[in-house]
């Protein structure tokens, strides 16, 4: 048989010859597809990250306010002064609390969506989880300020239920309380939890979706009560999703500077510190050092998660 009979006759346009040669050289295709995003990530993202890292090893001259371009760990030492260290601890505790609460709130929602919701209800679930992401972040935060304010809906509700004493008792608790919910850390916590919740629900739902129903049936079949099945099968298998979600909620909380400014007390979080130091204060090195903190914390967090086998089920 001649070669001509093997090939289907077709118009020999230049597009056809391009796709033919790409088909013959899959490596070339992958190279062409990956180069633009690799350049984007490499130059724009990693480049600025290194610039940031470099800045954090410079220092500021305390009298003139001019940046001294010499390698020093002085700026990092400054992070450990009581005032700055407080900011770090406060932010990390808040991020951890938000993440933990987000896991607890998200799991049942995600479980319902992955196991029981079908067809129309699945659409309702996605819409319900994603809808808040469609409106502006600022609008959401300010709405929460109205909800939590002294003249807000929540106060009104407590009043209507004759439970104002309960709210006041809660607000009188030191640290988490305050004059009203909108100027307390509880308020900050609630808004963080609300705003980041979709980022926790969706990864957990995706990981639960991948667990076949027979896996839980097998666990029950082998004598495990639902609680035991959760502990030994469901939780370990959904852990990659939980970790993925917690990376979002944890790092987003670590870096945010708007929510604590609008809802919360006057004491600062890392994001606000970065914002303040790089802006009016002009202390770029300290701002950079503060910005490195979340990166280091996330790195340590992922390393611990990996060591504990969180990604074994991937």
Partner 1 sequence: MTTAVRFTGVSRHFGSVRAVDGVDIEIAEGEFFAMLGPSGSGKTTCLRLIAGFEQPTAGEIAIFGEPAQGVPPYKRHVNTVFQDYALFPHLSVIDNVAYGLMIAGQPKAQRRRAAEEALEMVALPGYGTRKPSELSGGQRQRVALARALVNRPKVLLLDEPLGALDLKLREQMQEELKALQRKLGITFVFVTHDQGEALSMADRVAVFNEGRIVQVGQPQDIYYRPEVPFVADFVGSSNVFPPDLTERLTGKRAHAALRPEAVRLGAEGHGATVRGSSFIGTATKVALDMDGIPMIALLPKGAPVPEAGAQVRVSWADEDLHVMDPNA
Provide the binding-site residues for partner 1, judged by CB under 8 A. Answer: 212, 214-215, 217-225, 228, 232-233, 236-237, 309, 312-313
Q: What gap in Å lies between CA 209 and CA 25, rounded to an integer?
A: 36
Q: How far is the CB of 231 from partner 1 (least distance, A)?
A: 10
Q: How far is the CB of 244 from partner 1 (least distance, A)?
A: 16
Q: Which is nearer to partner 1, 164 or 228 (CB)?
A: 228
Q: In b/e form, how buried is each residue of 42-64, taking b as 16+ CB within 10 angstroms?
A: eeeeeeeeeebeebbbbbbeeee
Q: How far is the CB of 215 from partner 1 (least distance, A)?
A: 5
Nearest to 265 by CA among 137, 177, 198: 177
Q: Which is nearer to partner 1, 205 or 229 (CB)?
A: 229
Beta bridge pairs of residue 184: none
Q: How far is the CB of 205 from partner 1 (least distance, A)?
A: 19
Here the tokens at position 4 are 């001509």
Q: Which is nearer to partner 1, 67 or 313 (CB)?
A: 313
Q: How far is the CB of 73 from partner 1 (least distance, A)?
A: 42
Q: Which SS3 state, helix, strand or coil, does residue 68 take? A: strand
Q: What gap in Å lies between CA 176 and CA 312, rounded to an integer?
A: 37
Q: Which is nearer to partner 1, 178 or 203 (CB)?
A: 203
The DSSP string of 121-170 is HHHHHHHHHHHHHHS-HHHHHHHHHHHHSTTSHHHHHHHHTT-HHHHHHH
Q: Which is nearer to partner 1, 35 or 225 (CB)?
A: 225
Q: Which is nearer to partner 1, 211 or 262 (CB)?
A: 211
The residue written with tokens 């009203």 in the block is 180
Q: How far is the CB of 224 from partner 1 (least distance, A)?
A: 5
């Amino acid at each position: 048989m001649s070669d001509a009979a093997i090939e289907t006759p077709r118009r020999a346009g230049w597009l056809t010859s391009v796709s033919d040669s790409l088909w013959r050289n899959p490596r070339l295709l992958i190279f062409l597809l990956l180069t633009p995003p690799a350049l984007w990530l490499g130059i724009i993202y990693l480049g600025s990250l290194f610039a940031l890292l470099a800045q954090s090893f410079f220092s500021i001259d305390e009298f003139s306010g001019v940046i001294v371009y010499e390698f020093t760990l002085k700026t990092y030492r400054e992070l450990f002064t009581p005032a700055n260290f407080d900011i770090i601890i406060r932010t990390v505790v808040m991020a951890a609390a938000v993440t933990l609460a987000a896991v607890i709130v998200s799991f049942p929602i995600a479980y319902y969506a992955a196991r029981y919701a079908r067809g129309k209800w699945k659409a309702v679930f996605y819409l319900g989880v994603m809808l808040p992401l469609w409106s502006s972040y600022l609008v959401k935060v300010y709405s929460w300020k109205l909800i939590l304010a002294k003249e807000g809906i929540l106060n009104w509700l407590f009043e209507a239920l004759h439970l104002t004493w309960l709210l006041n008792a809660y607000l009188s608790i030191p640290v988490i309380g305050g004059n009203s919910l909108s100027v307390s850390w509880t308020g900050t916590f609630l808004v963080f939890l609300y705003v980041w919740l979709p980022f926790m629900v969706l990864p957990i739902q995706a990981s639960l979706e991948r667990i076949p129903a027979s896996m839980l049936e097998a666990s029950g079949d082998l004598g495990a009560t639902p609680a035991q099945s959760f502990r030994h099968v469901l939780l370990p298998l959904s852990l990659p999703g939980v970790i993925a979600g917690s990376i979002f909620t944890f790092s987003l909380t670590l870096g945010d500077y708007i929510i604590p400014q609008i809802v919360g007390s006057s004491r600062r979080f890392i994001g606000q510190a970065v914002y303040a130091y790089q802006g009016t204060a002009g202390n770029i090195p300290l701002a950079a050092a503060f910005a490195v903190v979340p990166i280091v914390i996330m790195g340590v967090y992922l390393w611990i998660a990996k060591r504990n086998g969180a990604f074994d089920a991937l």
